[in-house]
Amino acid sequence: MTEKEKMLSGQLYDASDAELVQERHQARLLFQEINRTGDEHKEQRNELFYKLFGSAGEGLWIEPSFYCDYGYNIKLGKKVFMNFNCCILDVMEVNIGNNVLFAPNVHVYTASHPLDAKTRSEWLENAKPVTIGNDVWIGGGAIICPGVTIGNRVVVGAGSVVTKDVPDDVLVAGNPAQVIRPIDNSDFK
């Protein structure tokens, strides 16, 4: 298997592999151009986002600055909004549903490193995918950790660190994030 194939399958891989370094470089050139593009050229900036991502639905609205690893592993539904300074480490797929709102400084991580120091010292890493459902609002400064699935109609409180799956229709907050209470979305179903 190539290092990219290992990466995409969640196995330990070498991120310094030439193919992966080149792909990250291409993504950086693209998001740097995006981040330099002013509001007077918002349509051009959006076209660049559509080029960067694996897929994205209508109504995409992302405020710069934005950062990612590869871009092609990011799949967005319709009407996704990301406020200033969001970062998605998309070593594996990040699937984000429809009508999703990110406040400023939201970070989504699929990348991880071995707990074992010997393996980690070999500069090997791995990843787990992240999925975010429909109609989700993620508060400012929240961090979504590798392997997490967030259900539909969820609110993640500002500053939360989400380390495990979140069911539908709840408010979660804290570090680590805990379910605070259910949200009655019956009027919206």
Residues belonging to the active site: 113
From residue 29, alpha-carbon distances to 34, 88, 167 in Å are 9, 16, 37
Q: How far apart are the first and last CA of the chain?
A: 45
Side chain identity at 140, as an amino acid letter? Answer: G
User: Smallest Cα–Cα separation from 83: which of 95, 100, 58?
Assistant: 100
For residue 24, the SS3 value is: helix
CA 156 to chain CA centroid, Å, is: 14
Contact 153, 136 (CB under 8 A): yes
